[in-house]
Each structure stands twice: as structure tokens, then as C-alpha cells.
Structure 1
Amino acid sequence: MPRDLPPWIYDRRRDLGDRIRQRRRSAHLTQEGLAELTGIDRRTLQRIEVGTSDPPYSSLLLIAHALAVPVGDL
């Protein structure tokens, strides 16, 4: 059952997605390439990047590892 979240949550999700996209592009990776490195479905990565997904911490750890950045930089 979906719940209403405060607007700032959606803003933070978009910010997170923007930072991941910037890091991915800086690493010259496509979403498909990052998906292969992390084992996360490409569609899930796309939803994370646009801010419509609430990724689990383990996914953020996998993404950070694949991009060779500390998770805090995401």
C-alpha cells in the first residue's frame, strides 16, 4: 500500500539519482554496463536515476563499489 511521503523525500531521491547518473557517465558506463557490474536490473537502475525508486542500502553499496566511490559520495 503506497503511502504519502513529504515532498522533500522525492527531491532527495532525484538528487541521489542525479549524482549516480553523473558518476556513471564520468565512468563512461551505460545503464546496461552498470547493471552488469552490479547485478541490478537495468530498469531498476533507470528508476533509481530518475528518482522513482527507493533503493535499498545494499543496492547503493553495489553501485558505489562499481563506480569506485564511497557510498557517501552518492
Structure 2
Amino acid sequence: MPSPDLPAWVLTRRRAMGDRIRAARLWADLSQEQLAERTLVDRKTINRIELGHHSARIDTLFLIADALDVPLADLVAP
């Protein structure tokens, strides 16, 4: 069964989180491929998370925060 449509504010916050992840990755001077290797997550998934097209699992967010050496809160806080 398909999931119900999400409220616009959820999608907006997901895109903002993707922007923060991208900024932290660029600050760390990493490509999406390098981040993918460090997190054992597919590069396409990293790309979809950064674009806000993919709802990241909390475990994936933990791995991304650790690989970027930033607190998880810095990536997900509104």
C-alpha cells in the first residue's frame, strides 16, 4: 500500500536537511562518492538524500554524521 502524501512542511524540512548534509560534505572536501564509501551507502542514495528526494533512515543519518564528523543535530535541526 502506498504511503499517504506527506505535508509540504515535511518535504521542505527534508530538502533543508539535504542542503545541510551537502554543505557539511563540501566543507569536509568530500565528493558524494567518498561519502558513500565512508558510510557504505550507495552514492545515488547520498544524492537523493541531499536533494531531499529520499527519506533517510536514522541509521544512515548516524553514519553520515559520523563520516562528516558533525553532530547529528547539526544535520537535522530546523
TM range (shorter): over 0.9
The aligned runs of 1:1-74 (5 Å cut-off) are 1-74=2-75
**Structure 1 alignment gaps of length 5 or more:** none
Count of aligned positions? 74
Name the Cα RMSD after superposition. 0.6
Q: TM (normalized to structure 2)?
A: 0.93
Distance 1:69 1:4 in 2: 31
Partners of 1:64 and 1:18 lie apart in 2 by 14
Runs of 4+ in 1 over 4 A off after TM superposition: none
Gaps of 5+ in 2: none
Following superposition, the deviation at residue 8 of structure 1 comes to 0.3
CA distances 1:27-61 after superposition (whole Å, capped 9, x unpaired)? 00000000000000000000000001000000000
